[in-house]
Structure formats: C-alpha cells, structure tokens
Amino acid sequence: MVAPTRRILYALILLTIAGIGVWLVISQLEPPPTMTERAFPYGEIRIGVDASFPPFAVDDGTTVYGIDIDLGNAIGAYYGVPVRFINIGYDALYDVLTTDKADIVISALLINPLRTQEVRYTRHYFDNGLVLVSPNEQPFTSMAALSGQRLSIEFGSPADAEARYWLRRITAFNLLPYELPNYALDAVRMGDADAALVDATTYFLYQREQPDWQVRYHHVTNSFYAIATRIDRLDTWQLVEDALWIFAADGTLEKILRKWL
C-alpha cells in the first residue's frame, strides 16, 4: 500500500506534467485577434467608392483623389492598416459591401433609413444640404425672411422644389430660375438677386473661385454624407466611427474638407 505522503507526491507530479502539457498546447496557439484585425480581417481596408463625383472622389486614369479618398487614407493611417480603393458604380456600392468585397464604403453616401437593416452608418462627415446664400450687408438667416425679396435657384433642382414649398407658406417672394446653380450665385454677386438657394458643395466651390465675395450662408435643409459598414461588422463600424469623432475633434476632418471645398 502506498503511503499517503507518496500518493500526494505522485498526484503533484501528475498535475505538473498535465500543466506542462496544457502550456505547450496553448503556447502553440495563435493569439486572439485584436479589434483592428477583427475589423479589417484581410489585412487591409477595402474601401468601395464611386470615383466619378468631384470633389469627393475622382479617377483621372492614373489615380483617385478627393475628399472621400483623403478620408479613407486618414482612417488607414490612423490604425496603421493599408488602404485599397475599389472603384465601382454608385448603384453597386452597397452590393460590394454586403457581398464582402469591401469593408467600408466612403462615397458621398446619403444616410438612407431603408438601408439600416443591412448596413450601419457612421456619424456624418459632411452636410450637403441646401444653403441660403446672401451678402454680408443684407444677410438672410431663414427662408421665412425672404418675403418680398428676390431668390435665385437652379431650375428643376431640389432648391427649386424647396423654394416653391416656401412660396406656399409665406408672403410671396420673387423666384428667379437659372440654368445652373452657379448662375444663381452669379445673380446674387452681381446684385440681380437678394439671395440664392444652392447645395453646400456648389456654394463652397463657388466661394473658392470668388474669395473676395463677402457673403453668409445658412443651412435650410440637411443631406448628411456618412460611411457605411456591414450590419454584422460591429468592430469595423466602431473603429471607423471612433476615427471620425477623433478627426472632427483634432481638425483632421476640417483640413480635408477645406483642401477640396
């Protein structure tokens, strides 16, 4: 019969051997993936983009550039992950996302409530809504203030529809339709209209060409551009969302926007 002390010793030896075996097995296993690796499992950030919408994304045949391109590169640099852009038509952007051919889509995407069952949207990075543009010396801060004034718009545009909606709500103003939104802004600059209603991108690009023109602008509507991720890729969404908040706080986003607008 084995003495109790010897039995205890045998048990300790067996436990030690078992522990060494478990340690050897564990040591051969890969470490668990980090959040960044889970978010971008292919070792790169694959970004779907329609590079036919300046100044957000443009393909000149040799490279792609624009706001969305700079934003995608900034996200990659922030997390230390290479970036690859997948240039595809606008109608197929959601398809490359849901079929796992892209990790995210950055392509001047409007937040679409009908898509929220299949994708997650980040916070917006740009508001391309309609803005009311008027001279500094006689600024208008709302559509309601336009009664009796002259408003220039692009004929048949969303601005046209918005202006006609307000015509039914307030005392009439004079609606001046033009062929192009830039012509509507020309009318204000030349004194032929008191204010213009155009989308924000049009206004910012026009103002770059007319830096001495002293005007104010006020948003009338909102059209938020956001980044989309797959609904089942929460880690991907979270990292991109975090990056956008950081870029908004540290000036990175403003720097990118001001570079192109």
Task: Give the pairing type, strands 104-110 and 45-49.
Answer: parallel
Q: How many CA atoms lie within 13 Å of 99's alpha carbon, on the beta-carbon side?
A: 7
Q: How many CA atoms lie within 13 Å of 116's alpha carbon, on the beta-carbon side?
A: 8
Q: What is the pLDDT of residue 19?
A: 54
Q: How confident is the model at residue 15 (pLDDT cuts 50, 70, 90)?
A: very low
Q: How many CA atoms lie within 13 Å of 62's alpha carbon, on the beta-carbon side?
A: 0
Q: What is the pLDDT of residue 24?
A: 45
The Cα–Cα gap between 93 and 27 comes to 42
Task: Note whether 242 and 75 are within 8 A (CB).
Answer: no
Look-up: residue for tokens 């001046």?
Answer: 176
pLDDT for 14 beyond 90: no
| DSSP one-letter string for 152-165 | EEETTSHHHHHHHH
pLDDT for 10 beyond 70: no
Q: What is the pLDDT of residue 22?
A: 47
**Residues 133-151: what's their mean pLDDT?**
95
Residue 15: exposure state from Cβ atoms within 10 A (0-12, 13-18, ≥19): exposed
Q: What is the pLDDT of residue 26?
A: 45
The Cα–Cα gap between 87 and 93 comes to 9
Q: What is the mean pLDDT of the chain?
A: 91
Q: What is the pLDDT of residue 61?
A: 86
The Cα–Cα gap between 180 and 177 comes to 9
Per-residue pLDDT reduced to its tens digit, 183-228: 999 999 999 999 999 999 999 999 999 999 999 999 999 999 999 9
pLDDT for 1 beyond 60: no
Q: What is the pLDDT of residue 16?
A: 54
* Torsion angle in degrees (nearest 10) through CA of 86, 92, 93, 97: -90
Q: How confident is the model at residue 32 (pLDDT cuts 50, 70, 90)?
A: confident
Report helix, strand or coil for 89: coil
What's at 19, amino acid-wise?
G
- Residue 68 sits at the vertex; the CA angle it makes with 223 and 210, to the nearest 5 degrees, is 70
Say how far residue 60 (Cα) sits from the centre of its chain.
Answer: 22
Q: What is the pLDDT of residue 240?
A: 97
What structural domains and CATH numbers belong to the chain? Answer: 35-127+224-260 (3.40.190.10), 130-219 (3.40.190.10)
Task: Note whether 236 and 228 are within 8 A (CB).
Answer: no
Q: What percent of the chain has pLDDT over 90?
A: 84
Report helix, strand or coil for 56: coil
Distances 23 to 12, 26, 32, 34 between C-alpha atoms, Å: 16, 5, 16, 22
The Cα–Cα gap between 190 and 54 comes to 27
How many other CB atoms are there within 10 angstroms of residue 87's CB atom? 14
